[in-house]
Amino acid sequence: MTWGSISLNDGHSIPGIAFGTWTLGNGQNPIDQVDQALSVGFNHIDTAQSYRNEEEAGKAFRESGLARSDVFITTKYSGLNGLDIETSIQNSLKNLGVSYVDLYLIHHPRLAVPDIPIAWAKMEAIKAAGLAKSIGVSNFGVDELNTLLASAKVKPAANQILFHPYVYAKQIPTLELAAEHGIVIEAYSSLIPITRQPGGPLDEPLNAIAKRLDATADQVMFAWVKAKGVVVVTTSSKKSRLEGYLAAGDIKLTNEDIAAIDAAGTRAGRQTAGSVLRRLAIVGLVGAAALRIYTYLF
């Protein structure tokens, strides 16, 4: 079960797969789920202020008996209760029961108040104080990253974004800018094409590759994310699935496999765009000329 770690631009490293607590709610359930993830071999826990389960994630970690250095902990500034970044990191550390987090992210550009440069300077101060080993962002696109980088003394170490084959082409400019500055990309919701959008162009290549490799479609999807050099953030309440996700780290896709998945994802994007344009044309919001141009190009 080889996921390994990816080097960050600040000298630290990040595990290649994380167990996320976004959908777990609070109470005993997230404690049990994080405990299970740690017990099967996950060593990266991803949470956030807005998930309202930092305390539960911290409790599960502390009860695991693992050393602090054994687990990579990510949390995010989500602007919860209108609190500022400086107060929020202290609250998060208290909730988690730790003296530092490995990675602290601004959860969304709109939360960078009063603006991105000032918010990022506060993040840099948190890193300098040793409250976070690494700092980064989430849901930042090219424009927001460029605004941040223009004034940053410390570059973001990571950018956690929506990432799966159906949005891959759209995310390429963000990926390229990140690569230029050594910013590691983390992927959330990578299984959307399987769990929420089945029946699309990806079904055929994913299933064919899975059959050939004696794997599952979700394992192939995660292997594709890994092949892109991207960190996986995922979750499941089922132990067998978590074990399967870890095992996906050993799957080796061929260049042909990756190209087939890329191509299917691009086809889906074009089909979606064409469908939207056709619906808009029907209600008169897009002219026939725009529809003809789209049809010619794609």
How far is the C-alpha of 67 from the C-alpha of 36, rounded, in Å? 17
Q: Which residue has the tokens 């208290």?
A: 94
| 265 C-beta neighbours (distance < 10 Å), count | 23
Which is catalytic among the residues 51, 77, 168, 245?
51
- With beta carbons less than 8 A apart as the criterion, state whether 265 and 165 touch: yes
Q: Which residue has the tokens 């040793």?
A: 130
How far is the C-alpha of 75 from the C-alpha of 10, rounded, in Å? 18
Q: What are phi and psi of 66, to 5 degrees?
A: -75, 150
Query: Quick one: how far is CA 295 from the chain centroid?
Result: 33
- With beta carbons less than 8 A apart as the criterion, state whether 277 and 290 touch: yes
Q: Which residues contact 107 (CB under 8 A, 6 or more apart)?
A: 48, 49, 50, 76, 77, 78, 79, 138, 139
How far is the C-alpha of 234 from the C-alpha of 18, rounded, in Å? 6
Q: Is 164 annotated as a binding residue?
A: no
Query: Quick one: how far is CA 97 from the chain centroid?
Result: 24
How far is the C-alpha of 148 from the C-alpha of 54, rounded, in Å? 27
- For this structure, is 245 an active site residue? no
Name the DSSP letter for residue 258.
Answer: H
Tokens standing for residue 88: 């929020």
> Per this entry, what is the length of the chain?
298
Tokens standing for residue 141: 């696109």
Known binding-site residues equal 107
* Residues designated as active site: 51
Known binding-site residues for substrate equal 107
